[in-house]
Chain A
Amino acid sequence: AQKITQTQPGMFVQEKEAVTLDCTYDTSDPSYGLFWYKQPSSGEMIFLIYQGSYDQQNATEGRYSLNFQKARKSANLVISASQLGDSAMYFCAMREGSRIIFGKGTRLHILP
């Protein structure tokens, strides 16, 4: 069974608009963590944001925020004021024990 689900294989967004990338997860472990990574065409994995399962507030890092809805098991990434440089592949991931499992990713295209 898929542990991390990203339902949007691709998205096109106009520059300067906000964008929400969806992620749902499945775990029975009460202690877990959720991550978002960005992978540009160069292939490097860039850490964006982290949310622990016990964190009371939604994580924010600059233009990135994580909309954590624990009851729904969702951890959507919100990028405000999108820029052309945001065009990349975005992966949601979950820490389960010592392992981190990745979703299939969403390819985001920012249009000028």
Chain B
Amino acid sequence: GAVVSQHPSWVICKSGTSVKIECRSLDFQATTMFWYRQFPKQSLMLMATSNEGSKATYEQGVEKDKFLINHASLTLSTLTVTSAHPEDSSFYICSALSPAGARVYEQFFGPGTRLTVL
């Protein structure tokens, strides 16, 4: 299957700083990527859909100015948590939509990034 990487795998930062998380599709071009957050023992919550070359589509209740998404190329999407606060501490997971012509509509998930804001 296709491989998606995330960097960093974990990050600890001080309150008020900004953190950038990268999501890369390693062996295929992904025109669409998704960003999720997951609190401990809870489900994945879709934050936004990232389309290459256009603005991201945010889910209701997600602050677009807080969570900046950039999908500058067909293999890279970034999520920047601006002015992070302790309540932003979470597990952030990206996924990339299967390439055109794939057998099924499938998302390939990155390994996740654990963000801790002190």
Contact = CB atoms under 8 A, between A and B. Distances in A.
Interface of A: 33, 35, 37, 42-45, 47, 50, 52, 91, 95, 98-105
- Secondary structure at chain A's binding surface: helix, strand, loop or mixed? strand
Contact of A33 (B34, B42, B104, B112): B104
B111 interface: yes
A105 to B, nearest CB: 5
Interface string B17-35: 0000000000000001010
Contacts, number: 50
A45 B49 contact: no
A91 B105 CA distance: 17
B105 A103 contact: no
A47 B3 CA distance: 12
A23 to B, nearest CB: 12
Contacts of B32: 98
